[in-house]
């Protein structure tokens, strides 16, 4: 797997390079400033890009802007965005740019090597990987919405689904049977007005499509 890494912090950048290469992947290019990101992505056409949200020179949203611009020119380019804090507006904007091959993690997750590599590979494969804290913020946004009709357990299942977990992982996390998870998922889709589906990837995309559209949360 070929990866482009964009991170201005030298220590974290070298750490990311080490993690990626140690896992058997290739670092195709590295960028340390915002203006370097888009040219690197367009030149390399990587299997996945790992980008910091805030980069020089402005330290605002240079990395995110580069990611969105790249996805316009390279449709469905897998992008895993890293952020120091939960920045809800950035997460929402990233999701509006498409709902396949998208990840948004807090930088703390990088230190959890297995979690980070799992997220990287999931995003590269066209899946989703949202930090649990980001998902929580998105759920909190949707007050006075169909989400209010969900039971506490259904909300837990929805949260884990949005993070990209499969039925087996959800069942293990909640200490319930997979049959119970499937039942909760069916209830979630019915209450949110979404077509029932138990096909892993599609069901996560459907949930994320709902979460990223404020117009549905009225």
Pair (51, 147) in one structural domain:
no
Pair (148, 115) in one structural domain:
no
The predicted pLDDT at position 63 comes to: 87
Pair (156, 88) in one structural domain:
no
Pair (122, 160) in one structural domain:
no
Pair (115, 28) in one structural domain:
yes
Split into its structural domains, the chain has a count of 2
The predicted pLDDT at position 218 comes to: 33
Burial (Cβ within 10 Å: 0-12, 13-18, ≥19) of residue 116: buried
Pair (95, 161) in one structural domain:
no
Block means of pLDDT (10 residues each) for the chain, length 218 residues? 95 94 96 93 95 89 87 89 76 66 86 90 87 68 64 86 83 94 85 59 56 45
Q: What is the CATH number of the domain that holds 199?
A: 1.10.10.10
CA angle 88–1–69, rounded 5-degree value = 40
Which residue, of 102, 131, 160, is where some domain finishes? 131
Long-range Cβ contacts of 143-148 (<8 Å, 24+ apart) = 143/217, 144/217, 144/218, 145/216, 145/217, 145/218, 146/191, 146/192, 146/193, 146/216, 146/217, 147/192, 147/217
Pair (126, 148) in one structural domain:
no
Query: Is residue 136 domain-resident?
Result: no
Q: Whose CA is closest to 104, among 216, 188, 211?
A: 211
Domain range for 158 is 142-216
Distances in whole angstroms, Cα of residue 6 to Cα of each of 16, 28, 130, 205: 10, 11, 19, 26
Pair (150, 120) in one structural domain:
no
Query: Is residue 175 domain-resident?
Result: yes
């Amino acid at each position: 797997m070929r990866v482009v890494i964009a991170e201005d912090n030298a220590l974290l950048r070298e750490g990311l390079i080490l993690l990626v290469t140690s896992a058997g992947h290739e670092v195709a290019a590295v960028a340390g400033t915002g203006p370097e990101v888009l040219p690197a992505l367009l030149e390399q056409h990587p299997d996945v890009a790992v980008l910091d949200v805030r980069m020089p020179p402005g330290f605002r949203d240079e990395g995110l802007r580069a990611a969105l611009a790249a996805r316009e020119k390279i449709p469905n380019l897998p992008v895993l965005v890293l952020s120091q804090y939960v920045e809800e507006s950035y997460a929402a904007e990233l999701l509006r740019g498409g709902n396949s091959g998208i990840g948004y993690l807090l930088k703390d997750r990088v230190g959890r090597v297995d979690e980070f590599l799992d997220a990287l590979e999931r995003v590269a494969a066209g899946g989703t990987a949202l930090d649990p804290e980001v998902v929580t913020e998105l759920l909190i946004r949707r007050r006075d919405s169909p989400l209010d009709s969900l039971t506490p357990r259904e909300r837990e299942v929805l949260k884990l689904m949005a993070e990209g977990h499969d039925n087996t992982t959800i069942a293990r996390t909640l200490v319930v049977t997979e049959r119970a998870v499937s039942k909760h998922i069916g209830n979630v889709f019915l209450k949110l007005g979404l077509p029932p589906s138990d096909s892993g990837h599609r069901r996560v995309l459907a949930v994320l499509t709902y979460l990223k559209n404020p117009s549905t949360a009225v």
